[in-house]
Amino acid sequence: MPQRPAASAVRKPTFVPTPLSAAARRALGPQDAELVTTVMAEAMDFMPAPEFARSNAERKIFTDAPSIRRPKVDWYCPLMHEERASGRGNDSLLLTGAQERVLFMQFNYARYRVARIQKAQRGQPLETREAREVLHWAHAATRLRDQIAEINLGLVLAMAKRVRNADIEFADLISEGNMALMRAVDKFDCGRGFKFSTYACRAILKAFSRHGIKQTKHRQRFPTEFDPAMERGDHPGIVRAEHERECASEVGWLLESNQADLTALEREVIECRFGLNAPIASALPTLEQIGASLGVTKERVRQIQIRALEKLRNAYMDRAERRSGLTTADEALALN
């Protein structure tokens, strides 16, 4: 009976790193020479396409293709406050299947050009012309990779909120999702006719699953006793509580100094309704109770309360606008 060949009998061709010639190193400079050396040290992978072998491939894929703008990603800041990770920003960009194909064809063609130079050189020193070409296509591949990832950052947030786990930090999910998104960009084959989001969402969810299993095994292997000092912090809650205390303090000052031009009746209604002068443990009076003490109906007390709160709100907003204007002026003076 014939035996199956051993697994070591089938070997991949050995990749030989391509060094830079001395002339190319002098022509490029230390920073670019280091980048080219790094690129040529590992085999460049790409998703092949029949269009790459054509004589006018570069013109068809880059010159004749429609331009796609790069979106702003200022809205993507989920690690500071989890509440801000609510989705896409106003400058978000949704691509059609044709636009995705353009970007992925350009990205893989740039990697294909680098791989072709690696194959042609076969470990021989890289001269200046080839080194500049490698530098050009390496920059193009990096730029396109970042652009595709930035356009699809919303997928990471959407998938992270779908698999919320109390045992995993939100920031850890975002980090795992970002890395899975970058791997999906490298491995996606646009020639199959599918949207990138179909492929990337599955890859991100799979990364979350692997991370959750890894965390579970770690906790099982290294169990720890409950330690309050090691509990998860509530930074968003602390920031929110501090902001509420500051706002309440400022509203109290507005009421005490009567910056909102409240009448005596409006001020008395606000103080009674919210217990400003009452003991902390006492219950707040109802509109009917306040109306009985003032000799008016509870509907009249409600109207007075609404008008007084509106005055306080306007006074608070005016102070906030003045503070904002002073801050802007100070920044302008500092810049000048």
Number of CB atoms found within 10 A of residue 250's CB: 15
The pTM for the full model equals 0.61
The radius of gyration of the chain's CA atoms, rounded to the nearest angstrom, is 32
Grade residue 113 by pLDDT with cuts at 50, 70 and 90.
very high
Whole-number pLDDT of residue 163 = 79
Residue 294 lies in domain: 237-335
Residues 198 and 256 grouped into a single domain: no
Name every residue whose Cβ is closer than 8 Å to that of residue 128 and which is 6 or more positions away in sequence. Answer: 21, 23, 24, 27, 28
Residues 193 and 269 grouped into a single domain: no
Q: Are the C-beta atoms of residues 173 and 208 closer than 8 Å to each other?
A: yes
14 in the Ramachandran plot: left (φ > 0), alpha (ψ -120 to 50) or beta? beta
Whole-number pLDDT of residue 216 = 81
Which burial class, exposed, middle or buried, applies to 74 when counting CB atoms under 10 A from its CB (0-12, 13-18, 19+)? exposed
Top-confidence range, 120-124, 180-184, 248-252, 258-262: 180-184
Task: Confirm whether 61 is domain-assigned.
Answer: yes
Task: Confirm whether 8 is domain-assigned.
Answer: no
Residues 330 and 186 grouped into a single domain: no
Q: What percent of the chain has pLDDT over 90?
A: 28
**Which tens digits make up the pLDDT trace of 196-232?**
999 999 999 999 988 888 888 877 787 766 566 666 6
Residues 261 and 148 grouped into a single domain: no
Rounded mean pLDDT, 270-280: 73
Q: Are the C-beta atoms of residues 104 and 186 closer than 8 Å to each other?
A: no
Q: Which amino acid type is present at position 75?
A: W
Domain count for the chain, please give it.
2
**Which tens digits make up the pLDDT trace of 81-101?**
444 444 454 455 678 888 899
